[in-house]
Structure 1
């Protein structure tokens, strides 16, 4: 820790940063998305027009001290972990249920918000060390990517509802599905993916039965969750859990692509419906696996892609104490 940095400085920064995040959450809870930029600029002292909030921040911690603090490794770790937890809370506020219908205007507002996050943060952090800016941008990009993915998932879910509620389409899909050469599909999937010989036929029969029962989107979601848990449960205590989760997604994608290929070659009348459901189920599977990996590795879902870069389980915590390494 640099000599110019005291324990009080660290404590003040921790308090200010947490209060800053809480203020942002309050702002987003009322859907004031456009105000985020000004909150960032005030905290990092890069406001376009100085206001009372920035002046108050400057009194509590001058900008030059703030810049020095950002160069401390423990402070950077604290910021990174706090940001990931904060961004996960943001996702929970803006999209509490990825399958629940939301107005198209709200979807577009969230997507526009995601597009502007990087430029807003870059402007707010002008003059700060490149290492810190890069770290902050990595976190906000994870948020933007997650918001784009979840809004796309939500859009697919609403489109799929119309298909799942149409009895004629369901009947046509069942008819087309029964013409698929599943024996050939299973042989290819087994050779390429090493799939369990009993698992694939079991999933096939479950899928057909669920489709025949004309289940709702929420019931399909429950079925997909059951598939994920069934496949990943044997690996829960394994240090290779992340690898198993990745391989499952690859196997699921390859198997479903073979089914879609067969439907395409047969010019299936319900191809469009199957294609839509395939897009939705692939995306929702990724969503489910992402959350299962987060649970096992002890990190928030939004951090999974950025943090789990190898096949080993990575345990993280959002309670890093930036005063731990100080000489009291």
Structure 2
């Protein structure tokens, strides 16, 4: 009969190696095994205890084997590793999760740390619950309390049918939500909304100030409910919330839906809601509120575009973005076209931003592997040194008018950064420094948005010329350069987008919404706005040069200071906005 063994204590993991002793039933201790301190430190660096989460036992052991393989260490067997886990993380429990015949043991109360590289290895094990599944209502935020009862009635629609059922074969959803929430910025709150500015316009017939106030309050509650369900990754409930607010009615609505609609009718009759949807001040206010809401949601879902995100979460976000327009237009079936156009424009900008940011994140993770590969970096340096930059400069300068010494310094700085095998985050800082230097002379200037977008175009053109040279030379590292170029172009777009938004005092969502497919409809509210903006840009362009002193190109800390004088009359400029001579 084997003696019952429970962990009694763990020695400090310094020399000699980490030792584990176990206490037998007869109160005698026995030495089981010892491990190098680095292996225990690896556990502490990559895992942490937390309530309500779990990890498959086999997954942890797989991570351990990979770690031993990378570090050329001799691994212990699975049973000994289990004892090690329980010794390092005291009080850990195991649970058997899954359907009958297909269940697996999980360590309950343990998760991977947010900053650990092991998160990428968890993607395949975590994707089952993330394919556009609405999550359990029993979440910590209880997001649908503002529309209580909806998920029990027909208004829940397809979303309710997709919820996890006992024995359905899905991974525990509540555990998965908490696992994925560590990638979100759930602390971000919805910004305050301003009051509706009537702009001295008379109220529509049958509308009183109380109706305006009721609309503001209902809309605020509606936006808060959307933010809550998004924090809990309940994507399909957004459609339900839209249908509820806009009083979408089905042929045979459920009792819960009728109750919610009746409550809304008491606060703001639908007849008044329809009239307000044609009132210009309400339209403008709704657009501004949507831009603020969607910007907050972007920063919640993707707080850092470079940080690794599991592919399952990325796919769920992309599926959500793909469904937004159809959900919204369906929910607003009987709402005036003016409001529908406003809402769809902002929603499209939101969806487009989510798609771009998830694509940027995907590129970042692919490029991260390249930047960490010494052999690939050396090959890239070798191929880059063969590029005829003089020829590239001759062709690019015809369009970009790039000053030779400036381009040479950028080239040298790029090669040096590549040679140092800098991390992705260090490359991002380098790109940010380039943008800061080029646009510094245009801070607080009306020409800033135009200069920023022009720089983006010329950056893309110049990099395409370098890629062209690598292609013609059949460079062995062409694939790596192509990937890096895609990432840097996307990240530069991201930086410019935020700089322009900051210069305009708007959100990036609002800036991008101006150029959405339905953006032209917004100008009907202000027909002179677009013409005035174009005239301002044309007047700003006259005699204006987008320039950078050549001695300010090195990306040290001191070079990011404002240039003492903008050499507008100097021929040694990095970029100019004037049309090239043909």
TM bracket, shorter-chain basis? over 0.9
For the 8 Å contact 1:47–1:54, the answer to whether it is kept is: no
Q: Structure 1 or 2: larger strand share?
A: 2
Alignment partner, residue 144 of structure 1? 351
| Selected match of 2:311 from 79, 104, 112 | 104
Q: Where in structure 2 are the equivalents of 1:164-313 lying within 5 Å? A: 164-307=371-514, 310=533, 312=536
- Equivalent-residue separation in structure 2 for 1:18 and 1:192 (angstroms): 49
Larger Rg: 2
Q: Where in structure 2 are the equivalents of 1:44-123 lying within 5 Å? A: 44-48=246-250, 49-50=253-254, 51=257, 52-123=259-330
- Equivalent-residue separation in structure 2 for 1:166 and 1:56 (angstroms): 61
For the 8 Å contact 2:348–2:513, the answer to whether it is kept is: no
Alignment partner, residue 25 of structure 1? 227
Q: Structure 1 or 2: larger helix share?
A: 1
Alignment partner, residue 322 of structure 1? none
- Equivalent-residue separation in structure 1 for 2:412 and 2:260 (angstroms): 61
How far residue 18 of structure 1 moved from its aligned partner, in angstroms, is 1.1
Query: Please, what is the CA RMSD of the aligned residues?
Result: 1.4
Alignment partner, residue 317 of structure 1? none
How far residue 55 of structure 1 moved from its aligned partner, in angstroms, is 2.6
Deviation string 1:5-52 (CA, Å, 9 cap, x unpaired) is: 111111111111111101110110111111000000000000443513
SS in 2 for 1:84: helix
Number of residues of Structure 1 aligned to a counterpart in Structure 2: 313
- Equivalent-residue separation in structure 2 for 1:198 and 1:82 (angstroms): 47
Distance of aligned partners of 1:66 and 1:208 in 2 relative to their CA distance in 1, 3 Å threshold? same
How far residue 93 of structure 1 moved from its aligned partner, in angstroms, is 1.2
Deviation string 1:128-164 (CA, Å, 9 cap, x unpaired) is: 1112111111110001100100000000000001100
Q: Does 2:334 match 1:132?
A: no
User: Gaps (5+ residues) in structure 2?
Assistant: 1-202, 516-529, 538-582
TM-score (norm 1): 0.92
How far residue 59 of structure 1 moved from its aligned partner, in angstroms, is 1.7
Alignment partner, residue 318 of structure 1? none
How far residue 188 of structure 1 moved from its aligned partner, in angstroms, is 1.6
Alignment partner, residue 237 of structure 2? 35
Larger relative contact order (Cα-Cα within 8 Å, sequence gap ≥ 6): 1
For the 8 Å contact 2:363–2:487, the answer to whether it is kept is: yes
- Equivalent-residue separation in structure 2 for 1:281 and 1:14 (angstroms): 42
SS in 1 for 2:510: helix
- Equivalent-residue separation in structure 2 for 1:69 and 1:60 (angstroms): 14
How far residue 280 of structure 1 moved from its aligned partner, in angstroms, is 0.4
Alignment partner, residue 326 of structure 1? none
For the 8 Å contact 1:38–1:47, the answer to whether it is kept is: no
TM-score (norm 2): 0.53
User: Gaps (5+ residues) in structure 1?
Assistant: 314-328
- Equivalent-residue separation in structure 1 for 2:262 and 2:413 (angstroms): 62
Which deviates more from structure 2 when the two are superposed, residues 189-198 or residues 173-182? 189-198
- Equivalent-residue separation in structure 2 for 1:84 and 1:162 (angstroms): 35
- Equivalent-residue separation in structure 1 for 2:448 and 2:514 (angstroms): 15
